[in-house]
Structure formats: C-alpha cells, structure tokens
Amino acid sequence: MSTLKAVRGTRDLLPPETALWNRIEAVARSVFARYNFGEIRTPIFEDTALFARGVGEETDIVSKEMYTWEDRARAQSEKTQSLTLRPENTAGVVRAYIEHKLGETGQLAKLYYIGPQFRRERPQKGRYRQFSQIGAEVIGPTHAGSESPLRDAEVLEMLATFLDELGITGWTLKINSVGSSADRPRYIETLRTALAPVVSQMCPDCQRRAETNPLRVLDCKIPEDQPIIDALPRIADSLDEASRDHFAQVCAALDASGVPYTHDHRLVRGLDYYTRTTFEFTHGGLGAQNALLGGGRYDGLSEAIGGPKAPGIGFAMGEDRLVLTLQAQEANQKAAPPQVADTYIAPLGPAQNPAALALARTLRRQGLRVELGDGTFRLKKSFEAADKTARSIVLLGEDEAQSGILTVKVFATGSQSKVPQTELADLLAGLRNT
C-alpha cells in the first residue's frame, strides 16, 4: 500500500514555523484593531454562483481554478446545489454584509478575516492550492462615507503600518485607478483601437490578450514589447472627472501621511469587481510571485451579487508570502531564537513521577513553559534531553521530595543550587532575561 501524503499543492505547517504564522496573525489583529476593524469568519465554501457573479465569470479564477462540486440532494424533492471552496474572501464578506443587512446600521462595516482559500493552480513557491489570506474590507452605504478617497488612503496607510510593524523592509506600494464602471469599458475600447495597428508586432501572448483581455497587455514583461506598451494610451486619460478627482485625493492623503508609493499606470487587476483605486504591495526575493498583497475598490460588487449599493475597498495578503519574506530577512540577519522551555523536570526514578507531574502543574499554572521527563530515564539521558529543550533542569529525587528543596541546574552558567519549591518559579522566570 502506498504511503498517504498531503495532496498536491497542500502542505503541513510544523513548529517552529507555525510560531511565525502566529506572530503575523497577532500583528495583523493588533494593527487592524487600532483602525477599529472587527473580525469576520465566513464559511469556507459557498454557492458557486457567488463567485461566478462576484469575481467574474471570465476570470481565470472562476473559469478554471475553482474547486467545485455538486452537493448531494438529501431528498428526492431537493435539488442538488453547486458549491465551491472559496477562492478568495471578498465575495463572501460582501455576501455576509448583504445577508445581515449591515448597511442598515448606517455605519461603515470594517471587517477583517484570516483564513484558508483554495485555487486549483499549478503549485510553486509562494503559491499553493490551499493558501491563507489575511484581508480586510470597508463597506457601507454611500452616506456613511464608503466612497470617500479617505477610506482608500486609510487602508493603504494601515497596510504600510502593518508591514512596518511586522518588520518587513523594502516593500513597494504601487497604486493606480482603473476608473469607474463607466470609465473602464471606455478605456478598453480606446486600448483596442490603439492596439489594432501595432498588435502584430507584439509577442504571441499579447496578441491573444489583445483579443481576450486587452488590459492584460499592460502586464506584459517581454522587453521588446515595452516601447509599444509605453506608447499606448493611459487609463488615467480615460477617467471621468469624478474618478480623476477621487484618485488625486487618495494620493494627496497618502502624501500627507508620508506613505511612499508610485503611480503605476499599468497596474490593472485580474478580478472583474475592481473599480477606481487598485494597488499592490510587492517585495523582491519572492521570485515570480512577487506580490505580497493586492486590493482595490469595488463600488459595484454588492449590486452585482444582488445587494444594495454598497461601495467598498479591501485587500488580501498572501500569508505564505509574508512568511517567505520574513524567513528570507531573518536568514540574512539573525536566526529567530528557537522555542525553549523554562525548565525540564527530571524525576529520579518512577516513584517520583507523580510528584513530578504535580510540580509541573504548579509551575505551568504560574505561566512557565515546562518539559516533563520520565523517571525511567537514566539521569544522564535526562540531562541530555533537558539541555536540548530547556534552559534549566530540576532534579526531583527522594531527597528533594522529602525536603521540598529542589536541585536546579542552569545550563547557561552551569551553576547548580538547592532551591525551596516556593522560590522555584521566580528563579526560573528570572532566567528568561539572561
């Protein structure tokens, strides 16, 4: 029988790496809370129609990357339902916003999420079929200020703060405006017209994109095509006055808050629901998957899935990519300190095992990280195990059990002493700072 393995594109996260994941999530929760966001947890699967309508039928995500299945009917009378593992979380959040009538509060809904998403893509470093995203959305009725450019700038400023607090250095923020739902089709037509006479000189991919999705031509990385692309009309010139003004105000607010960014005229995003502001934080050293996070405004998404007008802006970060970036940085600097227990309790003989567990319980209840040995171990083995996992070792033999005076050896100094049980916790806690 063949050995079972994690399926393609999925993987196990083990200690100590999981500590890094927890740190990232803790920083995210801390930062988002200060911007007055609350956590939302939506189901991991949804009605397939949500993603078809929300993300866009023609996007790669929906057309070929979703894990979709027909749910079983429970009764003859019940119809089967097409369900899909969520490929992203914005559509689910907006669905929940509509379902729970959050717009009726008259306030902005400011929600963040942390959780797994699923796309059936070819796995690569920093790209998995189950991957975790951290994201946030600001949604609300227009009268709550959801369309304000200040919201866009605040989200971007929050992200800059998050990356800084997490300790990621060298990130780049690129922003652009893809215009309103009216601007975008107009620009696409302008682009098609401009491409027509020159497309034959471009790479095969671009020739295909010019037909299927002209905006994608702007993403082309082939050096020979760059002069042609640079000469194409810019989307900024197709924006109506409201969109142009909106974008200018986003930029002005970013300038005032000192968040560095570049205006990238070529930044278009793949999901259909984006309008006006789009952005991307990138980082070198991630290879081809250089986007740390991306997002933008989606003023029409709620209506696209049957809800009220509820403009919003949000982003999604690839948690795997944050981990990779931090790991690369820590490799350059100093390795993260390994997890180490405060002490290792070594019962000297099986007769001391019960007392050892009781002592461990006492210390653990005082907040200490304690590893527990076994009385069948030879003392030498206990020391070897202790030295690998803990800062110190506590010997618990017959003498110690009777007297209540424990023998403690601290590995950093090699010093050994007798300590009353009542003073043990303080002594061990003190070792953390040495």
Partner RNA sequence: GCGGCUAUAGUUCAGGGGCAGAACGCCUGUCUGUGGCACAGGAUGUCGUGGGUUCGAUCCCCACUAGCCGCCCCA
What residues make contact with RNA under the rule CB under 7 A?
2, 5, 7-9, 59-61, 88, 119, 121-128, 131, 133, 205, 209, 213, 216, 219-221, 269-271, 280, 287-295, 316-318, 320-321, 348, 378-381, 383-384, 387-388, 395, 397-400, 407, 409, 411-412, 414, 416
User: Considering Cα of 22, then 24, then 30, then 32, what sign does the dihedral take?
Assistant: negative
Q: Are 389 and 341 in contact (CB under 8 A)?
A: yes
CA distance 109 to 42: 15
Nearer to RNA, 144 or 323 (CB): 323
Least distance in angstroms from the C-beta of 394 to RNA: 9
* One-character DSSP codes across 402-431: HH-EEEEEETTT--EEEEEHHHHHHHHHHG
Least distance in angstroms from the C-beta of 77 to RNA: 36
Nearer to RNA, 204 or 367 (CB): 204
For 179, counting Cβ atoms within 10 Å of its Cβ (0-12 exposed, 13-18 middle, 19+ buried), the class is buried
Nearer to RNA, 37 or 273 (CB): 273
Nearer to RNA, 295 or 311 (CB): 295
Nearer to RNA, 231 or 412 (CB): 412
- Could you say which DSSP state residue 221 is in? -
Least distance in angstroms from the C-beta of 292 to RNA: 5
Least distance in angstroms from the C-beta of 4 to RNA: 11
Beta-carbon contacts of residue 259 (< 8 Å; ≥ 6 apart)? 153, 156, 157, 160, 173
Q: Are 309 and 141 in contact (CB under 8 A)?
A: yes
Least distance in angstroms from the C-beta of 96 to RNA: 19
Nearer to RNA, 175 or 271 (CB): 271
- In a 13 Å sphere around the CA of 202, the CA atoms on its Cβ side amount to 28
Beta-carbon contacts of residue 385 (< 8 Å; ≥ 6 apart)? 344, 371, 373, 377
For 225, counting Cβ atoms within 10 Å of its Cβ (0-12 exposed, 13-18 middle, 19+ buried), the class is middle
- Give the pair of three-digit tokens for residue 366: 């005082």
For residue 100, give the amino acid letter: H
Q: What is the largest CA-CA distance in the chain?
A: 94
Least distance in angstroms from the C-beta of 5 to RNA: 7
Nearer to RNA, 290 or 366 (CB): 290
- Give the pair of three-digit tokens for residue 18: 């999981």
Least distance in angstroms from the C-beta of 315 to RNA: 8
Nearer to RNA, 242 or 355 (CB): 355
Phi, psi of 174 (to 5 degrees): -115, 135
Q: Are 316 and 90 in contact (CB under 8 A)?
A: yes
Nearer to RNA, 31 or 144 (CB): 31
Listed residue (255, 308, 317) closest to 126, CA to CA: 317
